[in-house]
Amino acid sequence: MLKNKLKRDKIVLIFTISIIFFSCKKQNDKLNIDVSNINITTKIARFDIDFYTTTSATLSKTKEKYPMLFPTEHDSVWINKIHNEDEIALFKETQKQFGDFSSEKKQLTELFKHVKFYNPNFYAPTVITMLTNIDYDNRVLYNNNFLLISLDAYLGANHEFYNDYPIYIKQNNTKKHLIVDVANAIIKEQLQVNTRRNFIDKIIYEGKKMYVLDAYLPAISDREKIGYSSDKHQWAVNSEEEIWKYFIERDLLYNTNPKLNQRFIDTAPFSKFYLGEDNLSPGRIGVWIGWQIVRSYMENNDVSLPQLLQAKEDEIFKKSNYKPKR
């Protein structure tokens, strides 16, 4: 009997792995596009280098090159900034990581090609690298013409400059995560602002953004795209069915309580189920579930990426045939 049970369990395991494999393959096939013939020129302006190597004699030329980055201030303000010891140390540390920006330029070019594939009117913005004294909330700024990247926010999760940062924040202060933040900044400009109040609509809207990340960054891992540590990502994968059951049993799907944002959508060290093992969960677990719903919708419907972005969240939910993985 035990031998037969082990045999049945092995068959079930193989069957389950096969389902997951072919589901992932189907998803990857849909997003595996050839962008080699898309013509993109990526312009990089190293404001960080130009500014911190400027002297009193060359400041006027630097200001002419980057007029949008110099508010109306007396030149002494900029000279003092250039000679500030803390800023000099920050510049030197940044140069250790990004003195050579060629690999990042290659990644940006590949991203821009994917964006243009889905958005023919897209033009690659001028990329300006800079330092902002580790301004976490403004790591990347994008306005169609310019893309500003604060390189001092990507020195490595364990860098001493981030000692005062909580782990769930600084774990994404890495070179690998830079391209994810850039893609997110572009996506934010492309999607209309969500005005729906239902929890299910909110997480599906967030899921839309994550699916666009799938399309724009097909070579980046799910863990990196969502910004989870390895163990918290695995927790999300293993707990999908239980998370969905929790949302259903507590009637959260059509709940409009804004506190649900803080519990399950906003960046946080963990999600707040109000259970004993909450600290094992990652933050933004509602975003992760919304992502899986949108993926299910795209797998089960013949829909293009632009059509997805125009689809209403309630329509996506109804047509997704979403079933959480056990």
Residue 164 lies inside a defined structural domain of this protein: yes
The domain boundary residue, chosen from 190, 208, 234: 190
Total of domains in the chain: 2
Beta strands in 156-305 (DSSP E): none
Tokens 């992760």 belong to which residue? 288
Residues of the domain holding 132: 44-190
Q: What is the pTM of this model?
A: 0.90
Q: Are residues 153 and 203 in the same domain?
A: no
Claim to verify: residue 112 and residue 154 sit in the same structural domain:
yes
Residue 232 CA to residue 281 CA, distance in Å, equals 6
pLDDT in tens, the chain (326 residues): 434 443 454 444 444 444 444 444 455 567 989 999 999 999 999 999 999 999 999 999 999 999 999 988 889 999 999 999 999 999 999 999 999 999 999 999 999 999 999 999 999 999 999 999 988 889 999 999 999 999 999 999 999 999 999 999 999 999 999 999 999 999 999 998 888 899 999 999 999 999 999 999 999 999 999 999 999 999 999 999 999 999 999 999 999 999 999 999 999 999 999 999 999 999 999 999 999 999 999 999 999 999 999 999 999 999 999 999 87
Domain for residue 129, yes or no? Answer: yes
> Is the domain of 117 the same as that of 226?
no
Which of 190, 209, 236 marks a domain boundary? 190
- 107 shares its domain with 206: no
Question: Do 216 and 276 fall into the same domain?
Answer: yes
Q: Name residue 146's beta-bridge partners.
A: 126
Domain assignment of residue 93, yes or no = yes
Where does a domain end: 190, 219, 237? 190
Distance CA(322)–CA(326), nearest Å, equals: 12
203 & 178 share domain? no
- In terms of DSSP H, where are the helices of 191-284? 199-216, 222-226, 230-238, 240-249, 259-264
Residue 60 shares a structural domain with residue 174? yes
56 & 128 share domain: yes
